[in-house]
Structure formats: structure tokens, C-alpha cells
Amino acid sequence: MSYDEVEIEDMEWSEELKAYTYPCPCGDLFQITMDDLRAGEEIARCPSCSLFITVVYNPEDFADKPQKKTNPQPIAVA
Amino acid sequence: MDAPVEETRSTNEDDDHDDEREEEEERGEVWAWSWGAGTDGQLGTGAARDEHLPQPLSLNPLSSSASSHPLRVSRVACGGAHAVALTGDGRVLTWGRGIHGQLGHGELENCLQPKPVQFFESFTVCSVSAGWNHSGFVTDEGHLFMCGDNSFGQLGTGDNQSYNLPVEVLFFASKHVEQIACGMRHTLALVTGDLVYGFGSARHGQIGNSVSKPQKSCNLPEVIQGFGSCKIVGLFANGDHSAALTANGELYIWGRGFSGASNDLHPRLLHSSLRISQVALGWHHAIVLADGEVYMLGGYRHWAASGSHVVNPVRHQSVPSAACAAVSDVRTLEKVSCLDGERVVQIAAGAEHSALLTERGKIMTWGWGEHGQLGLGNTDDQTFPQIVNIPNWRSFASTLGIYCGSGFTVVTKSV
């Protein structure tokens, strides 16, 4: 059974772990990666114990979007 | 963990035990025992591993400071994975997880053994607290110093920068801080004149909601209103919970609701006829001590799984009140039974486990046990308090102190 329900905005992004994290009562961190979220996963696990939490988030915020054109077309100035 | 183990011990084992004691004496006098989750060094044993049975901590490493007289630890504050010990003469030692600067040594590293915080050598510290990744220190002159993670403004410094050396919270420079209590991501401070301030995460109402517009966090202290003219004698914080104890033994609770109840954005008086003397908060439970007996609010893995909370529930009658009638079902204190009538003198709560000391010096633990934080030699949960065996505890039963971090437990011996 899920230990707790945690909203994604209560989780912290860890650059080191490349994951959203939330304190686990054992002292370690519950973790869920961006890929997990994109895939619709809602369980964040702790690497040190059996506990896990349910992450509450809007899947649309993480769903794969069609590739946006990030580079604007160069404009000829000469 | 049962007594028969002691009784069936062979002569050889007795000898081994004596040898062990001699070794301990050579290393220095034992001042504490620790057990539970230990992978960040929070047990102070010098090893970064979990321990399922009490491990002795000796004084020798503490005596290595410049001071000629040995350190006497008067109390220990335990956080997410670090500990802050206060000595009788106002010095501070820290150990455990240090990667956010919460140990105050000017580093960002874990420390596997108690180490004096040099910053406080010219101060006398009288109150300490440890949060998930931050620490607070109050000096005898009423100044507040903080260090560690400041992502939520839990250091109260007006910025969100983390500090690896204690930094004075200048907001209180002209005030007199008496007590500090650190929760997971928030901090409470008691200032002379019965003012309670809160700072850090505000997501669950844990620092009150005194501002007109709701906010997620606050990096400067703000007064928490709602205590009337009560004299506040104790502040408590853990997880997203906050509590204040009045001189009359009444308890105010605010922050995240227990047992799925809604959050309390303002301090709410726990309606009860008990005269509460001690309080300990976990992440999903609170325990209180009243007239030598322990009562619990909420609780994860602390109760038998049958749905009814205890085998012989002894429900303490709440005083009916229109204001709290709607939530009385989830704000009822349940008596913790199976203590054989022995009076309890001290209580402590980790994230999801609890501990107590009885008047005869029995150390008991219950709740979540996966990391050995119950000290019973295994990783089982316990729904009733169980006795922890510490060798020769009888000789110092009256001088013990018990403290819980998120997943670990520390017992000290006043020497």
C-alpha cells in the first residue's frame, strides 16, 4: 500500500539524481524520473526500503509533446 | 528481544561480555547507544550502516577537543539523518548527513562520529533542534543560529541560500529567542513574550497562515496567531506538523491533518481534559504524555491492522465542543496500552516509530521497524511498546534520555 500521496509540486528536482525526490521516513529519498513521469508512472520508490508513494500530477504536464521547432529560422539580413 | 536470552547465557558468553565491557571502558565511557537507519552516519558509530540492536557510543572521540574537561551530553536533537547533541555547558556536537551543511562544520560532507561544532566555542547554546536537512541553535543570550538546507526558507534568513556554517537569523537580533523546533521543511521559534514565529514551507499550514494571501513558503519569520493569552512552554515540529504546549498542559496543533483530516491553517486547541506534560510529533502521528500515561493521535504502522486501533481500546473522552465536533473522530487521543501500569517519564517520536522511557528505566519502542529503528534485533513492525535490551541498563536507569530521528533512535546516559 502506498505510504503517502504527494503532489509533484511538493517534490524537489535533484540534478544529481536526475529525479524528483521527496523525503522517505527512513532518511533516504523517494525518487521518480522525468522518463517515469512521461510514461505516466505515478509511483516514486525509495532505494533503501520497501516504502513507496503515489505522486499526484497532471500527466499532460509531462506527456511527450510533438517536437517543437526550438530554433527560429535564420533570417537573412545581408 | 525477550529476557530468556539473558537467562540462558553460558559462562563463556559471560566472559565474552566482560571482555566487551573492558574494551568499551578502554575506548572511553559509554555515553549513549544508537540504532536504526545509519547509512548517512546518523548513528555516530563510525560506520555508515543500519544497526538493529543498540550500539554503544563512547566518550573518547568527544574528549579530543581542546577542552580539558570531558563533554557531558544533556540532550540530543535528531533529524532526517543527522543528530545535534547539546552538552551541559552549552557546547554542540553534530554527526550524520551533512551534504546540505546541516552539521555546521563548514563542509558539505557526512560525518560518521560526533564532532564538536567549533563555531559555538565562544557561545553557550541552550536549545537545539534538527529538521530533515536543517539545524537550529539558540544561545543563552537569545540569539538564533541556523544551518543546512534553505530551499524552503526554513533558515529564516530572508534568502533561499543553504549555509554550512551556523548563520544568525538577524530578524531576531533585537528579540530574545527561547526555543527552536525544526520540522521537515519548516521551523518554529518561541520568543520571550509568548510569541511564536514560523518560517519555511507553508504548504500544509505548518507555519500558520497569518498572511492575507496564501503562499507556499516564507523565508522570513512571521508571527503565528491564535494562542490567545496562553503561556507557551514548548514548541514541537516534525514532518509537516506543528504543536505548542501551554503552561496549563493544553496542546495546540496545526499543519497537516492527522489520519487524513484536513490541514489546520491556524493553531487549533486539542480538546481534551488531559494535562499534557510532554509531546512528540512524527510524520503521521503525535504522542503525548499525561500523568505518566501515553496517548496517541493518528499513527502509521503503530496499530494492529484489524481496523480497530487497539485490542482493548481505551478511548479518552474528548470534551465536546461545537468547534471541533466535526473532526473529533480523527482528533481523538488513544491510550497506548500494554505498559503494565508502569509510569512513563519520557517520550520520543521518529517519522514512523515511537519510543518511551518508564520510571524504572525501561526503554520501549514501537511502530515501523524496517531499518531496525526499534532496536529489537530485527526489522519487524510492533503495534505495542516492546522492551529494548541495553546491557547493564539498571545501573543508570534513572539518568536516561531518549530521542528519535526519522529512522533511528538514540538513548543517552547522563554521566
Share of chain B above pLDDT 70, in %: 80
**Chain A closest-CA separation from residue B39 CA (Å):** 9
Q: Is the pLDDT of residue B317 over 50?
A: no
Q: How confident is the model at residue B331 (pLDDT cuts 50, 70, 90)?
A: low
CB contact under 8 A, B370 and A49: yes
**Chain A closest-CA separation from residue B368 CA (Å):** 10
Q: Does B240 touch chain A (CB under 8 A)?
A: no
CA distance B140 to B215: 33
* B125-130 and B134-139 strand pairing: antiparallel
Average pLDDT over residues B23-27: 48
CATH classification of the domain holding B218: 2.130.10.30
Q: What is the pLDDT of residue A21?
A: 98
The interface predicted TM-score (ipTM) is 0.86
**Domain assignment present for B394:** yes
Whole-number Cα distances in Å, B136 to B78, B96, B169, B170: 11, 15, 10, 14
CA distance B242 to B350: 14
**Chain A closest-CA separation from residue B367 CA (Å):** 12
Q: What is the pLDDT of residue A35?
A: 95
Average pLDDT over residues B203-215: 77
**Chain A closest-CA separation from residue B203 CA (Å):** 8
What single-letter amino acid sits at B389? Answer: N
Identify whether the C-beta of residue B204 lies closer than 8 Å to the C-beta of residue B248. no
**Domain assignment present for B130:** yes
Q: What is the pLDDT of residue B413?
A: 87
Q: How confident is the model at residue B116 (pLDDT cuts 50, 70, 90)?
A: very high
Handedness of CA B199, B200, B206, B212 (dihedral sign): positive
Q: Is the pLDDT of residue B300 over 90?
A: no
B38-55 residue pLDDT tens? 999 999 999 999 999 999
Whole-number Cα distances in Å, B176 to B139, B144, B166, B221: 9, 9, 18, 14
Nearest to B370 among A9, A10, A50 (CB): A50
**Domain assignment present for B320:** no
Q: Is the pLDDT of residue B378 over 90?
A: yes
Over its length of 78 residues, how does chain A's per-residue pLDDT go in tens digits? 899 999 999 999 999 999 999 999 999 999 999 999 999 999 999 999 999 999 999 999 998 655 444 455 555 554
Q: Is the pLDDT of residue B8 over 80?
A: no
Nearest to B283 among A10, A25, A49 (CB): A25
Instruction: Read off the C-alpha cell for B245.
Output: 504546549
**Chain A closest-CA separation from residue B256 CA (Å):** 12
Chain-centroid distance of CA B48 in Å reads 21
pTM over 0.90: no
**Domain assignment present for B10:** no
Contacts 24+ apart (CB under 8 A), A66-69: none
Average pLDDT over residues B60-76: 64
B155-181 residue pLDDT tens? 999 999 999 999 999 999 999 999 999
Give the Cα-Cα-Cα angle B256, B315, B238 (nearest 5 degrees): 25
More confident residue, B333 or B145: B145
Residues in chain A: 78
Q: What is the pLDDT of residue B77?
A: 98
Instruction: Read off the C-alpha cell for B40.
Output: 548517512
Q: Of the ranges B71-75, B262-266, B292-296, which one carries the lowest mean pLDDT score?
A: B71-75
Nearest to B81 among A12, A27, A51 (CB): A27
Q: What is the pLDDT of residue B24?
A: 47
Which domains can be identified in chain A, with CATH numbers?
Answer: 5-62 (3.10.660.10)
Handedness of CA B214, B215, B221, B226 (dihedral sign): positive
Which residue of chain A has the CA closest to B352? Answer: A25
Chain-centroid distance of CA B361 in Å reads 19
Q: Kindly report the average pLDDT of chain B as a whole number.
A: 86
**Cβ of B335: how many Cβ atoms within 10 Å?**
17
**Domain assignment present for B270:** yes
Which range marks the domain in which residue B346 is found?
34-304+332-413
**Domain assignment present for B40:** yes
Instruction: Read off the C-alpha cell for B295.
Output: 496517548
Average pLDDT over residues B191-213: 86
Nearest to B370 among A12, A23, A26 (CB): A26
Q: Is the pLDDT of residue B56 over 90?
A: yes
Q: How confident is the model at residue B337 (pLDDT cuts 50, 70, 90)?
A: confident
**Domain assignment present for B368:** yes
Q: What is the pLDDT of residue B314?
A: 37
Q: What is the pLDDT of residue B7?
A: 36
**Domain assignment present for B16:** no
Q: What is the pLDDT of residue B409?
A: 98
Q: How confident is the model at residue B308 (pLDDT cuts 50, 70, 90)?
A: very low
Q: How many domains does chain B have?
A: 1
Q: Is B267 helix (H, G, I), strand (E, B) or coil?
A: strand
First to last CA, chain A: 65
A-B contacts at Cβ under 8 angstroms: 44
Q: Does B381 touch chain A (CB under 8 A)?
A: no
Q: What is the pLDDT of residue B66?
A: 47
Nearest to B39 among A12, A48, A50 (CB): A48
Q: What is the pLDDT of residue B70?
A: 63
Q: What is the pLDDT of residue B232?
A: 97
CB contact under 8 A, A25 and B405: no
B289: nearest Cα among B233, B333, B243: B333
Q: What is the pLDDT of residue B304?
A: 65
Q: What is the pLDDT of residue A47?
A: 97
Contacts of A52 in chain B (CB under 8 A): none
Q: How confident is the model at residue B4 (pLDDT cuts 50, 70, 90)?
A: very low
Identify whether the C-beta of residue B112 lies closer than 8 Å to the C-beta of residue B57. no
What single-letter amino acid sits at B144? Answer: L
